[in-house]
Amino acid sequence: MTDDLIRLTATEAVARLKAGEISPLDLIDAAERRIAAVEPAVNALPTLCFDRARAHAKRLMAAKEATLLAGLPVSIKDLTDVAGVRTTYGSPLYADHVPSVSHPLVERIEAQGGIVVAKSNTPEFGAGGSTFNEVFGRTRNPWNTALTCGGSTGGGAVSVATGEVWLAHGSDHGGSLRRPASYCSVVGLRPSPGRVTRGTAKNLFSPLSVEGPMARTVPDIALFLDAMTGLCPFDPLTMEAPALSFSAGMAALAAPRRVAFTPDFGGGIRVDRETREICAAAMRHFESIGCIVEEASPDLGEVEQAFMVLRSQHFVVAQIERMKAHRDRLKPDIVWNTEKGMAQTPEQLAWAEHERAAFFRRMSVFFQTYDLLVTPGAPTPAFDVNLRHPETIDGVKLENYMAGSTINAAITVASHPALSIPCGFDRFGRPVGLQLVGRPRGEAALLQAGALYEQASGMAKLLPLDPRAGVLPS
């Protein structure tokens, strides 16, 4: 029974919970057994809280109140506080930190019947495209444990890919939900800013970082997004939940009429050749559901440089106090990004804001013609687990650790929602994904397009999987 339960999708598991066919305790038992079986190979969920989870499950069962998640086990990224559970932010500065109060989003998830069973591994303070830190070590890709799972929601991606949990919470700034999803062949959604509360973030008025869901299927993403979304008194950018839930939208799927595909924004972003070819071939699935597919993209302008200016300023706000007190104990990437921000001039910040506004306007004009923009989900497949970032993209050496994130970061700058969805494998068996970009606040249509693509491709049927040992591609 345990093996059968971990193979249920989240929507299937919730349906069985609501029908009384299984209990939250059954699922917690299943998750605990699965975590014990696969964690030695992947190190995705280093902090477990099963006693707390069972106590929560018993309260839910006694209350007999209807909730969206109905007692479904989930993982929470280790950047986000869970009351009474060790929360390190991936930093040795907080190695023994146990918060007394949960993040507002965790409170919302738990109020909707989500049961936290574990914290998922993340780079230090979420900075990095590969998931490792000095507290818990490296998280490995279940398709090939010699490879990275990506970052910074790497532990979350692995936890759903392997069936440790049914849903994973994460966050995204420059691709932290999308790149791990692409590397691990799962689904990750970067929602529009304000769709999901960021609660206690220092950058509450910035649209760059968002919280969001990760899962094995698009309907599961819709379910978890419903549990996350809505106004929050602690976040000034949040909005009301939609009148029609995202899950309800899965019952009447509407295909986008006109889809734009770009492998590399007309050569403006470096992407490995095989990745471009795999993603281009995957567009046949959109054609099979009746979409008109054309190769087109908006003009990027200087969005890569603008993103780095804006991101560096974001780091100043988030890290300046730690830099003053603990500079020598912070990850080099954090020091570099923060000091870059501290050296910027007002003129540079003004220029970046002008570039952001101009790119948003170009995207708005583009979406008057197209209903959906599709790109590769990441510029390369997963790389050596011991590296901080891929050494090259399409034969060109990277200048810094963020240079491999531009295809995701451009969409961050535009504040559009984006969905990473599996589309195939390269010649070494490494997963490749697509990035589907919708209109601002257009998650409903975006998720419907993703669900139709998923049905046509059949990729979701490959999960969950047992971790596979492997070697590095030549």
Active site (catalytic) residues: 77, 152, 176
Residue spans of alpha helices (H) in 367-421? 406-414
Helices 406-414 + 303-326 axis angle, to 10: 90
Residue type, position 230, single letter: G
SS3 168: strand
The phi, psi pair for 206, rounded to 5°, reads -100, 135
Within 8 A by CB and 6+ apart from 457, the residues are: 282, 285, 422, 423
Burial of 363 (0-12, 13-18, 19+ CB in 10 A): buried
Distances (CA, A) of 318 to 69, 359, 467: 32, 25, 35
Distances (CA, A) of 428 to 143, 147, 179, 367, 472: 10, 11, 18, 36, 9
State how far the Cα of 78 lies from the Cα of 254, in Å rounded to an integer.
36
Residue type, position 11, single letter: T
- What radius of gyration do the chain's Cα atoms show? 20
Q: Considering only the C-alpha atoms of the chain, give the largest distance between any 2 of them, rounded to a whole number of Å.
A: 62
| Closest CA relative to residue 313, chosen from 174, 208, 200, 212 | 208
State how far the Cα of 416 lies from the Cα of 442, in Å rounded to an integer.
8
Residue 77's beta-bridge partner residues? 120
State how far the Cα of 379 lies from the Cα of 175, in Å rounded to an integer.
11
Within 8 A by CB and 6+ apart from 232, the residues are: 104, 105, 108, 197, 199, 238
Burial of 328 (0-12, 13-18, 19+ CB in 10 A): exposed
H helix count then E strand count, the chain: 16, 15
